[in-house]
Chain A
Amino acid sequence: MTPESSSRDRVLGRVRRALADAPEAPEITRDYRASHTPDDPATVLDLLHGNLADYRAGVQRSTRRDLPAVIGRLLAGHGAGSVVVPPGLPEAWLAASDTRRLPDDVPLTPAELDSADAVVTGCALAVAETGTVVLDAGPGQGRRALTLIPDLHICVVDVPGQVVASLPQALPRLDPTRPTTWISGPSATSDIELDRVEGVHGPRTLEVVLVVD
């Protein structure tokens, strides 16, 4: 037996001895709310919008047709000279922008990502009550590092298909076997005298585009 496998037996043995006389725990209750929001798409969308903005994300609403122009304006407005493009991002989304593209089809190195100004992605889901976008590395989102290193992240949310009101509605729609990143506003710290500072390590700017139509 290796020392480690004996530690396994030791720890599990201690757990079992510790619990030998323990009474059964009371049953788990789930009488909390499945959602705190009226079941009305417009209300849910307004709540998402408000909560994203409250967390200092930029929020735009756009129609599907205007989306390329909105993305182009955001890239230009933030002075982005280069943009990382995850595999599977709809080509049309960048059609109205002449920002230099850095496709991640052959994975970019960390240094290349560090020299990029922006990244544009879709998402898996957005949660209204918490003001959160969830990425699960699916097509158009790419691997986790893409939305971490460039300083500007533009994230497109498809309304209403990708919007849920609450956490209890979000989890069943996500696949736990995929790596998942939940993003609520830009990177932030309050470690220095509780003064909030944005963009310690992750993107300093998060722009969310809600595509409504």
Chain B
Amino acid sequence: MSGTYLGMPSFPEAARDAVRDVTLRGNLRRATHTIRDKRAGAVAELDDWGRLREAGKRIKDHTLRHLDRYLVQVEEAVTAAGGTVHWAADAAEANAIVTRLVQETGESEVVKVKSMATQETGLNEALEAHGIRAYETDLAELIVQLGKDRPSHLLVPAIHRNRGEIRDIFRSEMSEWGRPAPEGLTDTPAELAEAARLHLREKFLRARVGISGANFMVAETGTLVVVESEGNGRMCLTLPETLISVVGIEKVIPTWRDLEVFLQLLPRSSTAERMNPYTTMWTGTTDGDGPRAFHLVLLDNGRTDTLADEVGRQALRCIRCSACLNVCPVYERAGGHAYGSVYPGPIGAILSPQLRGTASAIDASLPYASSLCGACYDVCPVAIDIPEVLVHLREKVADQGGKGHRLERAAMRAATWLLDHPAALTAGERLASKTRKLHPERLPGPGARQWTNSRDLPDLPAEPFRDWWKKNRA
């Protein structure tokens, strides 16, 4: 994976910093709860959700079982439709291929659609090293890029920023990258979005190379599918002369018909919509419509290692909907950055250590970044048993021996950090309601202080439930 995250502290250390950041925690809590509640409503509209989920799971398992066959089929279909297919065994190779392809166009800037795969490979930095500037065009990715920051959520990568911070970033950084922010820019979301529209439109209209990922690629037809909301994806996919798509090998699905399952599962699980505003599908190149050259880069980068693990391979079913992040009590408090990878939350906790191995402290600690409450499994639209994989990976970390013991200790600290919570809660509860009016930031007392160092106090009732019960019911 990308060098961006090299030297990351292990999960408990990174999380400790994150939970001290009150803004971050407040933003995250509000955001994840909002999406979570909306999603439950959108899913409830379909009374066959369970059967769709089972179909999605089985289609993915079947595809993974015959992945070699379907990859060859994709290659043939894309080539027949006028595209060119490249294979990349790892991140460095993918970056080298894309860099060469961009250089061959003679261009020194590219526009990008939000893509996890190219974040995973650290493509922007690799291009920069060759004098090629990559512009992120998703609004949240733009905020992250201008803020010299890292994404913290799969779907809303700037979820850790509030409107005031975004306005400040736009005001101070936009001129570095192109059209400056309008004079007197306020922090209303509509004005901020308008500033981004103006800033990016001049880039879209002159862009000659676009880079994207894909949500799905259909083996039968060679069709690639990108699901989005803003239209920046459509801009990048249709206006440039050359389009380069970097796609993980697990994104293949067998047939055109299979889209009827995934286009029902994905939008409802991710943004809680019946359908996202824009979906673009293209098959190779089409005369007079869209790019004249299309390159598909098929990326392995640890996916085949994941595939080789009989328990862990189910992680490759993931369609990156981010539903598991929004229900995760650990993600809600720790934030996306603590996971030290482009894949945060429960899916990150099982995917990153599989893609990268568990040799580093952060990767060894990730399987412990969970309370195993099971909420992630319940919402996952392709039924990935994340707790099962976590436990399996913990065993692996524990089995590493030698250096592994040290890693296991680091990892156990993460587990303890979570599991001491109920005891501390009971200790702090009564005291807390008595001092409610003072809005304490820390609870006094040895055990309790440790607990509040890394947690928000809940909104406290006027008196503890137990006291109320004794008075009114006992």
Listed in ascending order, the chain A residues whose CB lies under 8 Å from chain B are: 4, 7-8, 10-12, 14-19, 22, 24-33, 36, 51, 55, 107, 110-111, 114, 127, 129-132, 137, 143-145, 148, 167-168, 170-172, 176-195, 197, 199-203
A191 touches B234 (CB 8 A): no
A28 touches B218 (CB 8 A): no
B300 touches A129 (CB 8 A): no
Q: Which of B30, B65, B158 contacts A25 (CB 8 A)?
A: B65
B212 contacts the other chain (Cβ, under 8 Å)? no
Given contacts A19-B307, A194-B34, A201-B201, 14 further A-B contacts (CB under 8 A): A7-B87, A16-B68, A19-B66, A19-B67, A26-B58, A55-B277, A176-B218, A179-B282, A179-B290, A182-B275, A187-B230, A192-B158, A195-B189, A202-B231
Distance (Å) between the CB of B276 and the closest chain A CB? 7
B458 contacts the other chain (Cβ, under 8 Å)? no
A202 touches B277 (CB 8 A): yes
Distance (Å) between the CB of B96 and the closest chain A CB? 9
Which chain A residues lie closer than 8 Å to B97 at the CB level? 4
Which chain A residues lie closer than 8 Å to B137 at the CB level? 201
Of A18, A55, A127, A180, most buried by chain B (CB within 10 Å of CB) is A18
Which chain A residues lie closer than 8 Å to B55 at the CB level? 28-32
Q: State the CA gap A192–B139 with chains docked (Å).
A: 9
B183 contacts the other chain (Cβ, under 8 Å)? no
Which chain B residues lie closer than 8 Å to A132 at the CB level? 275
Which chain B residues lie closer than 8 Å to A17 at the CB level? 304, 308
Q: State the CA gap A28–B231 with chains docked (Å).
A: 34
Majority secondary structure of chain B interface residues (helix, strand, loop or mixed)? helix
Q: State the CA gap A36–B259 with chains docked (Å).
A: 17
Q: Which of A176, A187, A193 contacts B163 (CB 8 A)?
A: A193
A143 touches B308 (CB 8 A): no
Nearest A residue (CB) for B187 = A192
B341-374 residues with Cβ-Cβ distance < 8 A to A are: none
Q: State the CA gap A180–B274 with chains docked (Å).
A: 19
Distance (Å) between the CB of B143 and the closest chain A CB? 7
B51 touches A29 (CB 8 A): yes
Q: State the CA gap A191–B288 with chains docked (Å).
A: 33
Nearest B residue (CB) for A129 = B274
Distance (Å) between the CB of A166 and the closest chain B CB? 8
Which chain B residues lie closer than 8 Å to A186 at the CB level? 277
Majority secondary structure of chain A interface residues (helix, strand, loop or mixed)? loop
Distance (Å) between the CB of B348 and the closest chain A CB? 20
**Quick one: given A26-B58, A171-B260, A195-B189, are A31 and B51 in contact (CB under 8 Å)?**
yes
Q: Which of A8, A36, A110, A176 contacts B281 (CB 8 A)?
A: A176
Distance (Å) between the CB of B33 and the closest chain A CB? 10
Q: State the CA gap A33–B410 with chains docked (Å).
A: 48
B435 contacts the other chain (Cβ, under 8 Å)? no
B35 contacts the other chain (Cβ, under 8 Å)? yes
B328 contacts the other chain (Cβ, under 8 Å)? no
Q: State the CA gap A150–B297 with chains docked (Å).
A: 32
Of A22, A114, A186, A199, most buried by chain B (CB within 10 Å of CB) is A22
Contact with A along B131-154 (1 / 0, CB 8 A): 000000111100100000000000
B277 touches A191 (CB 8 A): no
B281 touches A180 (CB 8 A): yes
Q: Which of A18, A24, A190, A202 contacts B308 (CB 8 A)?
A: A18
Which chain A residues lie closer than 8 Å to B35 at the CB level? 194
Distance (Å) between the CB of B224 and the closest chain A CB? 10
Nearest A residue (CB) for B64 = A25
B166 touches A192 (CB 8 A): yes
Shortest Cβ-Cβ A-B pairs, 10 listed: A202-B231, A201-B231, A18-B308, A14-B304, A130-B275, A182-B279, A143-B289, A176-B221, A191-B140, A192-B189
